Chains A and B, each alone.
Chain A
Amino acid sequence: MTVVTYEGTQFPVADGETVLDALLRAGQVVPYGCRAGVCHSCMMSADDPAPVRQAQVGLSDTQKALNYFLSCQCQPASPLEVKLVNAAGAKQVVEVLEKTALSESVYRLRLAPGLSYRPGQYVNLSRDAKLSRSYSLASLPSDPWLEFHIRHYPDGAFSSWVVNDLQAGDTLELQGPLGHCIYAAEANQPLLLLGTGTGLAPLWGIAREALAQGHSAPITLVISGRSLEDCYYRDQLLALAAAHDNVSVTWVLQDGEAADHVEVADIYQYCKERFPELNGYKIYLCGAKTFVNKLRKQCFFAGAAVRDISTDVFLQAGSL
């Protein structure tokens, strides 16, 4: 017999009993369905991968990398701590190190490090109990800061507070990490990274993480935008492509003139023509909801496996 810690409380697990059954027996509310390891309704994440490895059959590489497991299939032999996969965890107070304008409407916020995360995940940032928004991490754990790209919506309460009031040295609250849009691919699997707007933030983290882990296959970055002025981090992306033979970057614009690395086209049409066959690709789609949902289906129809398409959808506050 052992114990499982869930939401701060320890629950006994009898020999041969599953984590799901132990929690249900104790009256905890955990979603579940088939109890046969198939439907994934009871998926949780663990603090330590070892005790849950046998309960990861059928999960994707991304899910395994995040220590996800099926609680109906897990009979732990040693104590472990678990949580539901969409639980954000405790809040922490972090200091602002730097705030820089990257374009007319996008600001870079760098916060003091001290969070354990995978590049591409996101966190909730809060001004106070009433005002909180989700932002994707653009940094790597090895960077001496946590980096976020914040689009300023003039009517947006949080982004206006960041742009107008927040200064280096101030603090805000951070909760996370969350999300599963992370680098989890074979080194020889081609990567296609498609983003719009501040969807570049997670892609910037994922691309650099792939390189840090020795990714050898092509890494193709495509950034969609209205005009070139909309697209920030252009020098950084060109420098990344120049430094690595397997990295390429293209901006696909609605308005403007074609040039080196710049195309003027409808992004959906561009992807259809440029990437007609995506079988075997690992794909990352980050940005506005329509953009992500349309391209996800398009990529799936072009032969990419569901599990090889990771997404990070940006929702504007109030759009839920």
Chain B
Amino acid sequence: MSVYEKIGGDGAVEAAVDIFYRKVLMDDRISDFFDTVDMDRQRAKQKAFLTMAFGGPNNYTGKDMREGHKHLNLTEEHFNAVAENLIATLQELSVPQEYIDEIVGICLSVKDDVLNK
């Protein structure tokens, strides 16, 4: 069973997405990447990211990850900032530590693609 299913599927992502989005918008290290006029669209992107990070249904490939991020010139600091905000979101929702570890593991597995290494 994936973490996505263990923590409650789409309902869990719905609970997390606004909290996570608010955190990244308030984080000066990365807010510029997320501060777009179309908040609905941006929220859908955040939801797609969280669904993927939780091991939920998605058809993204490593190639998609590279294509989607390569124009952003992301650094280690940006990646860590996103991960920190994600962890803080999950802690706020009282997600058990073992699941948080599993989710961080999924994020780390796409790190090289996201940073175009």
Contacts and interface: CB of A to CB of B under 8 A. Distances in A.
Given A58-B10, A309-B39, A38 B22 contact: no
Nearest to A41: B44
A57 B57 contact: no
Contacts of A117: none
Given A34-B48, A36-B57, A301-B26, 16 more contacts: A33-B48, A38-B44, A38-B56, A38-B57, A38-B58, A39-B44, A39-B45, A58-B14, A58-B47, A296-B39, A300-B39, A301-B25, A306-B39, A306-B43, A307-B43, A309-B39
A218 B63 CA distance: 50
A37 interface: yes
A39 B25 contact: no
B58 A36 contact: yes
A148 to B, nearest CB: 24
A261 interface: no
Given A35-B59, A36-B58, A306-B43, A301 B22 contact: yes
Q: 5 nearest interchain CB pairs?
A: A40-B44, A36-B57, A306-B43, A38-B48, A39-B48
A25 interface: no
B48 to A, nearest CB: 5
A306 B40 contact: yes
A38 B39 contact: no
A297 B39 CA distance: 9
A306 B39 CA distance: 7
B43 A34 contact: no
Contacts of B51: 36, 38
Interface of A: 33-40, 57-58, 293, 296-297, 300-301, 305-307, 309
B68 to A, nearest CB: 10
Nearest to A63: B40
Nearest to B35: A297
A34 B39 contact: no
Contact of A293 (B14, B37, B41, B57): B37
Interface on chain A toward B: helix, strand, loop, or mixed SS? loop
Interface centre among B14, B26, B40, by most chain A C-beta atoms within 10 angstroms, is B40
A58 B43 CA distance: 12
Interface in B7-39: 10, 14, 17-18, 21-22, 25-26, 37, 39
Contacts of A37: 57
A57 B45 CA distance: 16
A244 B14 CA distance: 35
Contacts of A35: 59
Contacts of B45: 39
Given A39-B44, A300-B39, A34 B59 contact: yes
Contacts of A34: 48, 58-60
Nearest to A309: B39
Contacts of B14: 58
Contacts of B22: 300-301
A57 B14 CA distance: 11
A36 B48 CA distance: 9
A309 B56 CA distance: 27
17 contacts: A34-B58, A35-B59, A36-B57, A37-B57, A38-B44, A38-B48, A38-B56, A39-B48, A40-B44, A57-B10, A58-B14, A300-B21, A300-B25, A306-B17, A306-B39, A306-B40, A306-B43
Interface string B42-73: 01110110010000111110000000000000
Contacts of A40: 41, 44
Contact of B18 (A293, A296, A305): A305
A313 to B, nearest CB: 8
Contacts of A39: 44-45, 48
A38 B45 CA distance: 8
